[in-house]
Structure 1
């Protein structure tokens, strides 16, 4: 019996997380796999019940779990002081979820801007230019005077090496091509170190083709010739921006799956946010959450040599692709299906 944590979250979370679980449960049943879904307090409802968006009860439970599904959180709307540190930051830091894997590919039946896009963006998730991830204590942003704002960017050899290895190992399972993204012509020391370490790691993967691109050129190339790229590895900020671009090129951020992981833990988390403006209206696209859950189950299945979980992930992914190919889609993709209708169609195909 596989135990998977469930953190439903805010906004559209109560719509898309149950959708992902319904699809995963149907696929698990079809494969004869038992899954226990462990629901945990999280987000705004946890503030109401525990005065904390990520209560100790939840963290203690996650300590004993290797995989969980986290819905979006709307921390910008939390009352102070709960808005100071996002729930995602708390969990990423505690479990050292250093790798953020974000695939983007076009699906049949979806009007994609780039019909031939199929890339995996491997984003370093613990440092870079993100103010909530680059200091031991305090924020990486500060203002020495009311008219001057500064931001610290941190790149380390250790973090760059471990994310590079994740990228090259992933490339071996795809088309054996890694593109290292940086801005070493301007940020010579920081992104220059990232580039150099990635190229050093490449020497351990002689079967993988490696090249490099400046981040601004990479954005242009993704639009013009996306099929030339396979795995893209980048520091935190660059990876975040490029993955959103790639998601839209594939059709919609509603399709953009993602996992955050360490060597032992994996968390499914859709790339998009909580979208409180459409919450409760049945408009949310559940695909990203469903595919994120499938990614997490696949990664955990491979790590634990559990072929059943890998098969469950494959069923989920195939059912989503088949449903989209039949022009069944939510409003963000130009369709008329509600969140529930789309989910039911995927479950029916399983």
Structure 2
């Protein structure tokens, strides 16, 4: 039996999590769901965006499935709290174009691997009378760890290259350390090509030549920005899954927000959540089922009969979910 903590959150988070659970319930898996809270609605009830019980549940579970939350001004992000508490040092975002969707270019297929625990997102800030200062932390340990993860992923999926993205020409000490750590790890993988790019150049290359990249390894803020740019290449945030992965725990979530403007209308796209579930099952060593979900989603998108509004159609969340379940039955 797998113990899975589910955090629906706010807005469409509830809708996409329900869609994801419908997929899981249809599969031959023994899963115990543990519902937990986080987000704006939780803050309004309890005074905190993420209760300690939620963090404890995630730590004890085999994996966590996260929906979407609405941010609360002045409060720390629940997802950042979970990443740090569970030491989920890697944010893994597959970027893939699907037949039948409005991808800018066909045959895009690369992975962005973002260091999750450091950089500017360590949230160490100081406010003085006329200035505010944020601390950017980069350590050798974290830089080597995320670089190793990148090369191991490249080896697992038979990728030919790993690219380090940085700004070491300006941030000579912090990004200099990150780049140095990357090439130290690269020496252990002589069969995989290692290269590096400045982040501003990479922002352009993702648009002009995205098919040249296999695995991208970068720091927290740069990875956050590049991931959303990459989503624009392949049809939007409704199609991109993500995993927050550590040595012992994993948290999986769609990369879109809570979209309060469409919440409750049953028109949100559940694909990103369902693909995040496939990533979760792969993390749990259920590779066969994970691959089956991936193929089912790809087939439904390719056929184009069912499309939610973000894909140019008029179908509902539950209709997309039902169609994917039907496709699973045909595999």
- The TM-score by the shorter chain falls in which range? over 0.9
Alignment root-mean-square deviation, CA: 1.5
User: Where in structure 1 are there 5+ consecutive unaligned residues?
Assistant: 78-82, 134-138, 302-308
SS in 2 for 1:76: coil
The aligned residue for residue 276 of structure 2 is 292
1:107 is matched with: 98
CA shift at 1:41, angstroms?
A: 2.8
Q: Secondary structure at the match of 1:8?
A: strand
Question: SS at 1:71's partner residue?
Answer: strand
- CA distance in structure 1 between the aligned counterparts of 2:260 and 2:317, rounded to whole angstroms: 15
CA–CA distance in 2 between the matches of 1:90 and 1:151?
18
Question: Which whole-Å deviations, capped at 9, do the CAs of 1:9-33 have from their partners, x for residues lacking one?
Answer: 111111101111111222x22xxx3
The structural deviation recorded for 1:49 is: 4.9
Correspondence for 1:182 among 144, 166, 170: 166
Does residue 1:125 correspond to 2:101, yes or no? no
Give the conservation status (yes or no) of the 8 Å contact 2:49–2:72: no
Note if contact 1:4-1:67 (Cα within 8 Å) is conserved in structure 2.
yes
Bigger mean CA deviation after superposition, 94-103 or 280-289: 280-289
Scaled by the length of structure 2, the TM-score of the pair is 0.94
Measure the CA separation in 1 of the matches of 2:125 and 2:16: 33
Say whether the 8 Å CA contact 2:281–2:290 is kept in structure 1. Answer: yes
Match of 2:57 in 1: 61
Please tell me whether residue 158 in structure 1 is matched to residue 149 in structure 2. no
1:84 aligned partner: 75
**Alpha-carbon separation, structure 2, partners of 1:115 and 1:128:** 33
Q: Structure 1-normalised TM-score?
A: 0.89
Give 1:329's aligned residue. Answer: 307
State the shift of 1:100 in Å: 0.3
SS state at 1:145 partner: coil
Superposition map of 1:144-223 within 5 A: 144-146=128-130, 148-174=131-157, 175-223=159-207
TM-aligned CA deviation for residue 45 of structure 1:
4.0
* Map of 1:305 onto structure 2: none
- Matched position secondary structure for 1:21: helix
Q: Select which of 319, 322, 326 maps to 1:341.
A: 319
Runs of 5+ unmatched residues, structure 2: none
Hey, what's the Cα distance between the residues in 2 that align with 1:186 and 1:45?
41
**1:314 and 1:24 mapped to 2: Cα distance?**
13
Pairs aligned (count): 326
- Once the two structures are superposed, the pairs formed by residues 183-332 of structure 1 within 5 Å of their partners are 183-301=167-285, 309-327=286-304, 328-332=306-310
Distance 1:49 1:39 in 2: 16
Shift of 1:150: 2.3
CA shift, 1:84, in A, is 1.4
Residue 152 of structure 1 deviates from its aligned partner by: 1.7
